């Protein structure tokens, strides 16, 4: 991909965006809700907490936590300190909590926001529901609020996160070497993004992939997400 522009983009009429405030939104597979510690603490802990889920927290800046109260308090503390907007992902039909994700690095004046602190339960991983959750969160940023840039950052050693970013349509931008110290370890940070000019094609791809006719009777995809947006 070629970066930069040969011409100056005139943004004199562009206005800063409103901060993300996704209300409850339901898709075919998932419902996205703003995290409520009182309502959601037990469900979140059951989905992604406890000793059996320690591996899910390998690249998360906090956790793992040993109780529902500890986890809920940690989510609130980090979100308040860093101005995150944390959402839970629940099964649309049953309401069971399956994971969480947060809007981070919220910069309305630049029209830029990051999606991060994404933790999918084992039940949610590698499912159409997981992809739909990422689609719904991105759609709010671009279609509802008019942001210019949607970021994805991850530890340079996190191969699964880098692969997920590419599959979802984020473009790799580079690596900040020795960017952070997290949990006593060095972190090189890999950067990815989607721009507003790229979103219409990606949105069409998501919607084509999520369409019922793209899955057979056993739930297997007929075309990959890359194929649905015109890739090989």
- What is residue 16's DSSP assignment? P
- What is residue 57's DSSP assignment? G
For the chain, domain boundaries? 25-228
Model pTM above 0.85? yes
- Superfamily name with CATH number, domain 25-228: Gcn5-related N-acetyltransferase (GNAT) (3.40.630.30)
- Could you tell me which residues come within 8 angstroms of residue 75 by beta carbon, excluding any fewer than 6 positions away? 35, 37, 44, 86, 100
Q: Strand locations in the chain, DSSP E?
A: 25-26, 30-34, 85-91, 97-107, 112-120, 149-155, 171-182, 185-195
pLDDT by position in tens, the chain (length 232): 555 655 668 888 989 999 998 889 999 999 999 999 999 999 999 999 998 999 999 999 999 999 999 999 999 999 999 999 999 999 999 999 999 999 999 999 999 999 999 999 999 999 999 999 999 999 999 999 999 999 999 999 999 999 999 999 999 999 999 999 999 999 999 999 999 999 999 999 999 999 999 999 998 999 999 999 987 5
State the first-to-last Cα distance of the chain, in angstroms, to the nearest integer: 16
Phi, psi of 192 (to 5 degrees): -135, 160
Cα 42 from Cα 57, distance rounded (Å):
17
């Amino acid at each position: 991909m070629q970066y930069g522009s040969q011409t100056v983009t005139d943004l004199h009429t562009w206005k800063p965006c409103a901060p993300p405030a996704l209300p409850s939104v339901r898709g075919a597979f998932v419902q996205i809700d703003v995290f409520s510690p009182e309502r959601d603490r037990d469900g979140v802990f059951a989905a992604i907490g406890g000793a059996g889920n320690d591996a899910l927290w390998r690249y998360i800046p906090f956790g793992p936590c040993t109780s529902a109260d500890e986890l809920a308090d940690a989510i609130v503390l980090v979100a308040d300190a860093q101005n995150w907007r944390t959402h839970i992902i629940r099964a649309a039909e049953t309401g069971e909590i399956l994971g969480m994700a947060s809007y981070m690095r919220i910069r309305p004046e630049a029209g830029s926001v990051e999606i991060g602190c994404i933790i999918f339960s084992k039940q949610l991983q590698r499912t159409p529901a997981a992809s739909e959750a990422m689609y719904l969160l991105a759609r709010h940023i671009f279609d509802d609020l008019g942001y210019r840039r949607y970021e994805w950052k991850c530890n340079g050693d996190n191969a699964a996160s880098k692969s997920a970013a590419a599959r979802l349509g984020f473009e790799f931008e580079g690596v900040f070497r020795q960017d952070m110290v997290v949990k006593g370890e060095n972190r090189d940070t890999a950067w990815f993004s989607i721009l507003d000019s790229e979103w219409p094609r990606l949105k069409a791809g998501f919607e084509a992939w999520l369409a019922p006719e793209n899955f057979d009777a056993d739930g297997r995809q007929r075309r990959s997400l890359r194929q649905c947006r015109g890739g090989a």
